[in-house]
Amino acid sequence: MIYDVIVIGGGPAGLAAALEAKNEGAEKVLILERDRELGGILNQCIHNGFGLHHFKEELTGPEYAGRFIEMVKNTDIEVSLDTMVLEVTKEKQVHCVSKTEGYRILEAKAIVLAMGCRERTRGAISIPGTRPAGVLTAGTAQRYVNMEGYMVGKRIVILGSGDIGLIMARRMTLEGAKVLACIELMPYSGGLTRNIVQCLHDYDIPLYLSHTIVDIKGDKRVEQVVAARVDENRRPIPGTEMTFDCDTLLLSVGLIPENELTKNAGIEIDKRTKGAVVYENMQTETEGIFACGNVVHVHDLVDFVTAESQRAGRAAARCALAGGVDGGKTITMKNGSAVTYTVPQKIRTGNVEKLCELFFRVNKVMQKAEIEVLDGENVIAHFKREHLAPGEMEKIALPRMLLDKAAGSELVVSVREVE
């Protein structure tokens, strides 16, 4: 038997893609998930702040996931839990293993990759010092506290001010721990402003910007961490050290898309996003294999994951039912000044209905900015935005008409600060 669409990963991306594939007419749709339940990372994100765009109300992570899980249950979409996908091939075979079914090789007309991302660990950013117990990533701590019910420490320092670190600062405080400081290497926070306010300010937790951890002390368990200010080259400045007596260090130093399957399948990866290069309909460079959600680029908001994944699911269904689509002229999107990446990286103008949404991030904080899209020397579109920051994904919508008119095969997205 050949599936129309196999979705790998049952987080919000996989759930939305599977549902949309079904709505679009795909008959046999299967979700493969390695965990014991659907919902992905949302199951441990018990705080609220999800769904303002999609559901127009503020939900917690499990509630947001719950709504999609319920919708999937009301269809004939098949779900295999506790099933780890080991390999995906360009011929659209999926190798997976589970306790109940053993090793299986499944075939599909279209595949959607929705494996999410994982956290960077201490190794990935190499802090000096001893290696005692009590150093863990913020997301691991979140899972222990919120799902298993274990407290991870009493006196806590957090390295990194991404959203997970901020959310955990509040969470640990509510559970009775003392959070001594949140320490951020960059001169700005990597998290959403609202999280700085409601997670740090509300509980008087100091945020040290332009600081890093230069030493971890402790024999069996963390006893102290030493932080220092850094210069503009991010080098610690001697003489600025501060010592914190603590038993736990939480790392919130970023997420990396989980792309082993993608790489092993020989699918092209974008060095900037660390995810697959994708077209306007979320197809990768391999015909019939699509990708969406955090496996493509790290999202701050699950609502955007859902929208992007619906696009992937729709395109996967069309591909399964009608075969490949000829999208006409291909335009490659390039980074201009202050832009770190764009998704999609490539646009086939013939596949764009009215507007093509383009997501990107900037490399510095800007109060007022002008975003320009350039075709050679010509500015073909410009947009104004306020408060751009690396921690917040931005999007613009390019009308098909403009794309069709582009003379070259490359467009550059560029951002500059204006007074």
Partner 1 sequence: MTELICIGCPKGCHLQVDEENNYEVSGASCEKGAAYGKIELTDPRRVVTSTVRVKGASPARCSVKTNAAVPKGDIFAVMKALDAVELSSPVKIGDIVIANVCGTGADVVATRNI
Closest CA to 36 of 100, 95, 108, 93: 100
- Answer with the entry of partner 1, ligand FAD, none that 63 interacts with (C-beta below 5 to 8 A by kind): partner 1
Which residues within the stretch 268-307 sit at the binding site for partner 1 (CB under 8 A)? 300-301
Which residues within the stretch 353-412 sit at the binding site for ligand FAD (CB under 6 A)? none
CA gap 391, 194 in Å, rounded:
12
| Per-residue binder mask for ligand FAD (CB under 6 A), 93-132, x = binder | ---------------------xxx----------------
131-165-300 Cα angle (round to 5)? 130
- 194-207 burial code (b ≥16 CB/10 A, e <16): ebbebbbeeeebeb
Burial of 307 (0-12, 13-18, 19+ CB in 10 A): middle
CA gap 20, 69 in Å, rounded:
13
Candidates 102-110, 287-295, 325-333, 365-373; binding stretch for ligand FAD (CB under 6 A): 287-295
Nearest CB to partner 1, comparing residues 177 and 255: 177
CB atoms within 10 A of CB 415: 24
Candidates 22-30, 120-128, 196-204, 333-341; binding stretch for partner 1 (CB under 8 A): 196-204
Give the phi and the psi of residue 91 in degrees, each rounded to 5. -80, 5
> Minimum Å distance from CB 217 to ligand FAD?
28
Q: Which position among 174, 237, 379, 418 is part of the footprint of partner 1 (CB under 8 A)?
A: 174
- Answer with the entry of partner 1, ligand FAD, none that 197 interacts with (C-beta below 5 to 8 A by kind): partner 1
Q: Which position among 86, 197, 237, 397 is part of the footprint of partner 1 (CB under 8 A)?
A: 197
Cα separation values, 190 from 312, 389, 390, Å: 28, 8, 7
Candidates 88-96, 113-121, 125-133, 146-154; binding stretch for partner 1 (CB under 8 A): 146-154
Candidates 36-44, 175-183, 208-216, 277-285; binding stretch for ligand FAD (CB under 6 A): 36-44
Q: Is 14 in the site for ligand FAD (CB under 6 A)?
A: yes
Roughly what angle, to the nearest 10 degrees, separates helices 302-322 and 12-23?
40
Q: Is 148 in the site for partner 1 (CB under 8 A)?
A: yes
- Answer with the entry of ligand FAD, partner 1, none that 120 interacts with (C-beta below 5 to 8 A by kind): none
- Answer with the entry of ligand FAD, partner 1, none that 142 interacts with (C-beta below 5 to 8 A by kind): ligand FAD
CA gap 332, 346 in Å, rounded:
5
The residues, ordered by sequence, that sit 6+ positions from 161 with a Cβ below 8 Å of its Cβ are 182, 183, 184, 189, 190, 191, 196, 207, 209, 252
The residues, ordered by sequence, that sit 6+ positions from 307 with a Cβ below 8 Å of its Cβ are 53, 54, 357
Q: Which position among 34, 55, 66, 365 is part of the footprint of partner 1 (CB under 8 A)?
A: 66
Q: Is 275 in the site for ligand FAD (CB under 6 A)?
A: no
Which residues within the stretch 146-185 sit at the binding site for ligand FAD (CB under 6 A)? 163-164, 167
Residue 310 near residue 71 (C-beta atoms within 8 A): no
Residue 302 near residue 333 (C-beta atoms within 8 A): no
- Answer with the entry of partner 1, ligand FAD, none that 76 interacts with (C-beta below 5 to 8 A by kind): none
Give start and end residues of each alpha helix (H) in 251-290. Answer: 260-264
Q: Which amino acid is at 190?
A: G
Q: Which residues bind ligand FAD (CB under 6 A)?
A: 8-14, 32-35, 40-42, 45, 47, 49-50, 84-85, 114-116, 139, 142, 163-164, 167, 258, 261, 293-295, 299, 301-303, 305
Q: Which residues bind partner 1 (CB under 8 A)?
A: 36, 43, 46-49, 52, 58-63, 66, 145-149, 174-175, 192-194, 196-198, 202, 300-301, 387, 392
